[in-house]
Amino acid sequence: MSAARYTAPALVDFATRLLTAMELSADKAEAVAQILVEADLMGHNTHGLALLASYLKELESGAMTREGEPAVIADAPAAVTWDGRRLPGPWLVLRAMALATERAARCGTGTVVIRRSHHIACLAAYLKRATDQGLLMLLTCSDPNAASVAPFGGLDPVFTPNPISAGIPTTGVPVLVDISTSATTNGLTNRLHSEGGRLPAQWVIDGHGQPSDDPSVLFTEPKGTILPLGGLDSGHKGYGMSLLVEALTGGLAGHGRADAREGWGATVFLQVIDPKAFAGQDAFIRQTGAVAQQCRASRPAKPGSKVRTPGEKGLALAHAQRESGVVLYPSIMPMLEPWAVKLGVPMPHP
């Protein structure tokens, strides 16, 4: 039996109705729903609608703020700092993108950092909105309320997986980079642990420092940790990248791991760069297009495969799923059905 497929608009409508039933305003609910479904369209199925049940629980408990605007902490021509007041992360990031884009048009660059945002979902889901405008965007975040990644050579966790992303316009398909500074993510290890599954490689270490592909070592005493990107061999690279993310997020926002924990959330760094303010849009696209083409033209290491640029597979999948329907990870709809019943929202029809 083939997997059920849903139209993307039906999923956005379903998620929006669940969120508005929890008394989230229509604009905030739609922003969250669009970003979650965009993640599933691109195949990031741990950071799409898989998050919605947890978001609804956070709204129900009051841990996610329903109403209001971010508070402005600082406002310079090309640099703005907000206190997100634990408002919905996707809504805050989309607002920050609009502001950063406006500032970049005037100043060449626009940067917004956000302290005390709620979780911001899948970073890759935001990037094409910038590249479609010919803009370069950098987006990264950390969660100072949690720690699951140890520094290289250590056993005690300090960081979250601290993703780094970038949207780069080219002459053709944009380059969309979205990578964790750790070997894997909390979303994947949590899912595999609940399912009794294993990781594809030894991406974690147990509480005694032994590498493992079993995510359960993160949940048993003494607790293990996720390895930095590069693992036991070259994890000093991921460690260094994690420290950079902490400086860009908690450091610039003035709120992070030096402060008391408040609950699941994010500290965000977002920068929009307008190539027109530098060597010019045409010159930028000429260079990025040439590099992307040279990458794709590289002889494949495995016969029958081809070299892709980051994000190319996800964009192709999103295009296909918009045409033929979205296939969700099997556990997503069963997680959302109790909320639909509770809130009186009809389940979407495949």
Q: Are 83 and 71 in contact (CB under 8 A)?
A: yes
Closest CA to 11 of 43, 57, 47, 52: 52
Whether residue 215 has pLDDT greater than 80: yes
Residue 1 confidence (pLDDT): 55
What strand order describes the sheet that includes 175-180? Answer: 71-76, 79-83, 109-117, 266-273, 136-142, 163-168, 175-180
Q: Using one digit for the tens of pLDDT, what is the confidence trace for 85-107?
A: 999 999 999 999 999 999 999 99
Q: How many residues does the chain have?
A: 350
Please, which pLDDT band fits residue 5 given cuts at 50, 70 and 90?
very high
**How many percent of the chain have pLDDT more than 70?**
100
Res. 280: pLDDT tops 60: yes
Residue 266 pLDDT greater than 60, yes or no: yes
Specify the pTM.
0.96
| pLDDT, tens only, 59-85 | 999 999 999 999 999 999 999 999 999
pLDDT at 14 over 70: yes
Tell me the C-alpha distance between 246 and 242, whole Å.
6
The H or E element that residue 319 is part of is helix 312-324
Tell me the average pLDDT across 319-331: 97
User: What tokens does 155 get?
Assistant: 């056993």
Whether the predicted pLDDT of 227 surpasses 80: yes
At 149-203, the pLDDT tens digits run 999 999 999 999 999 999 999 999 999 999 999 999 999 999 999 999 999 999 9
Give the chain's domains with CATH numbers: 5-183+227-288+311-343 (3.30.1370.60), 184-226 (3.30.60.50)
Calpha distance 278→129 (Å, rounded): 21
Residue 316: CB atoms within 10 A of its CB come to: 14
Residue with tokens 């959302």: 336
> For residue 90, which of 57, 60, 61, 124 has the smallest C-alpha distance?
124
Model confidence at 3, in pLDDT bands (50, 70, 90)? confident
